[in-house]
């Protein structure tokens, strides 16, 4: 059993900037804000993804032929064209940018958004992203160690920037590895993005609780987020089941060319029905 944190349910809309035109994507994130989405997210890849891959299987996904846009600049555009939702990425591969530059860009987008930015960080997993753009491709263990090394550097640079972020910038970490990733989440994450089946999530949540207990951190300080994809990426878990796990941050993933709002509308109706029950 998991403990349900005393926080409201948030529904995010993840617009992977792939397989479609920018103007359509912008139209859909602005429509998502009007519908009441609590957060907008992008993805950090240099090539469009093949979503037929199993997201629970780890690295090895291949790129697909299709249009694609860069993540940091998309978030700046989201920040400049919206007023209410939080803005973030699931997640930035720390190997793609100098960590000091990552912090500086995050701080700048935080100001553009008037304090709505979330800095999402992870290892990256698509080989083509690294190789085609001239970054060294190494095994998952080395990429995880790189993430663990760079998160403290990013946090330190955020504390030194002038002007600083408009608030304590939330750090979202997407990691599920027991040896490196999960301890990093326990020490540094404000938000943890996890994904998988209900059974997989339940196991990982208990693992994070134990890690927090070992280091003396309150587990409930960490907000847990997960995708709701309705079967896409081979993840099939219902909103009620996510809620029963104690997860209050649910993110609907859509890829172009349409970035369909239908499932988002259903999730927002479900969220609003919870407050009426």
- pLDDT 10s digits, 179-215: 999 999 999 999 999 999 999 999 999 999 999 999 9
Q: In this predicted structure, what is the pLDDT of residue 276?
A: 74
Radius of gyration of the chain (CA): 17
* Residue 10 pLDDT class (50, 70, 90 cuts): very high
Task: Report if pTM > 0.75.
Answer: yes
Residue whose entry in the numeric block shows the structure tokens 């993540």? 71
> Residue 227: pLDDT band by 50, 70, 90 thresholds?
very high
Q: What kind of fold does domain 10-276 have according to CATH?
A: TIM Barrel (3.20.20)
């Amino acid at each position: 059993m998991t403990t349900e944190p005393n926080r409201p349910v948030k529904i995010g809309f993840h617009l992977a900037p792939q397989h479609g035109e920018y103007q359509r994507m912008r139209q859909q994130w602005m429509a998502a804000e009007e519908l009441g989405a609590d957060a907008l997210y992008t993805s950090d890849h240099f090539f469009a993804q093949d979503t037929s891959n199993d997201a629970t299987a780890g690295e090895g996904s291949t790129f697909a032929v299709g249009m694609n846009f860069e993540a940091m600049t998309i978030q700046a555009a989201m920040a400049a064209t919206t007023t209410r939702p939080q803005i973030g990425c699931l997640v930035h591969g720390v190997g793609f940018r100098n960590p000091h530059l990552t912090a500086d860009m995050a701080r700048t987008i935080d100001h553009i958004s008037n304090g709505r930015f979330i800095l999402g960080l992870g290892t990256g997993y698509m080989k083509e992203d690294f190789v085609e753009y001239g970054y060294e491709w190494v095994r998952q263990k080395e990429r995880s160690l790189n993430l663990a090394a760079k998160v403290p550097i990013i946090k330190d640079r955020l504390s030194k920037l002038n002007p600083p972020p408009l608030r304590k910038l939330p750090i979202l970490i997407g990691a599920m590895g027991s040896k490196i990733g999960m301890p990093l989440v326990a020490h540094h994450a404000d938000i943890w993005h996890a994904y998988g089946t209900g059974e997989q999530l339940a196991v990982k949540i208990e693992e994070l609780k134990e890690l927090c207990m070992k280091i003396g951190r309150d587990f409930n300080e960490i907000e847990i987020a997960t995708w709701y994809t309705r079967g896409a990426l081979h993840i099939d878990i219902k909103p009620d089941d996510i809620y029963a796990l104690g997860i209050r941050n649910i993110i609907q993933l859509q890829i172009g060319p349409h970035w369909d709002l239908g499932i988002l509308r259903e999730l927002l109706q479900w969220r609003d029905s919870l407050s009426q029950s």
